[in-house]
Amino acid sequence: MTDMPGLFITFEGPEGSGKSTQLRLLAATLTQRGLAVVATREPGGTRIGNAIRSLLLDPAHTELSPRAETLLFQAARAQIVDEVIRPALAAGEVVLCDRYADSTLAYQGYGHGQALTSLQQLGDYATGGLTPALTIYLDIDVCAGLERKRAGAAEEWNRMENHALAFHQRVRSGYLALAAAAPARWLVIDAAQPIAAIHAQIMTRVAQLIENQA
């Protein structure tokens, strides 16, 4: 491991966009290049976060209100930032996280129609103001993404995917709006491309980041 400062990269996208696959590929490539990598996810990544994840994603919890949902996501987020992400960054490691604060703006904000300003304030508190150096957004048609999820393992289908198609369309539109508002931080990639092509685009951008930090 070099003396490179920590690097925080997040992955975002609608359901079925291939975030987890691309995160694993990036983690493997960076590890092969001698970097210390921490790969994690939201909600989860800690004992407390995993307990909250089980509650949030259980399809049986249909009565969970958008406000309660938001606060649970933020609680899990605060825990992973304090327990995992900040310590790893302080140690000079590369942290890759499958979803982060932008997910709340997209899902609970654009999807559920909650006030973005309030959600941003909650997110700033939960993260202590920690912003990724790069957010990789894998864009995919909502119907195509949900079909990918349906074709996967049954246990992967969760409460969030059960929302109406219009909800998922609002989420996708929200992500694109967030990316357009901060183009320096976001890398938008067409997730319908072959896996290897997507990975190559991600590596090009990440290599530039690492070179700039060296």
Query: Which amino acid is located at 25 in the chain?
Result: L
Query: In angstroms, rounded to a whole number, what is the distance separating the alpha carbons of residues 47 and 162?
Result: 26
**What 3-state class would DSSP assign to 146?**
helix
Nearest-angstrom CA–CA distance, 37 and 29 = 10
pLDDT tens figures, 20-32: 999 999 999 999 9
- CA dist 212 and 214 (Å) reads 6
Report the C-alpha gap between 100 and 41 in whole angstroms.
Answer: 8
195, 18 Cβ separation under 8 angstroms: yes
pTM for this predicted structure? 0.92
User: Tell me: the pLDDT tens digits for 34-68?
Assistant: 999 999 999 999 999 999 999 998 888 889 999 99
Q: Domain 7-213, what fold?
A: Rossmann fold (3.40.50)
Single out the residue of 146, 76, 128 nearest to residue 104, CA to CA.
76
Q: Which two tokens stand for residue 55?
A: 């509650």
Q: Which residues of the chain have pLDDT under 70?
A: 1-4, 152-162
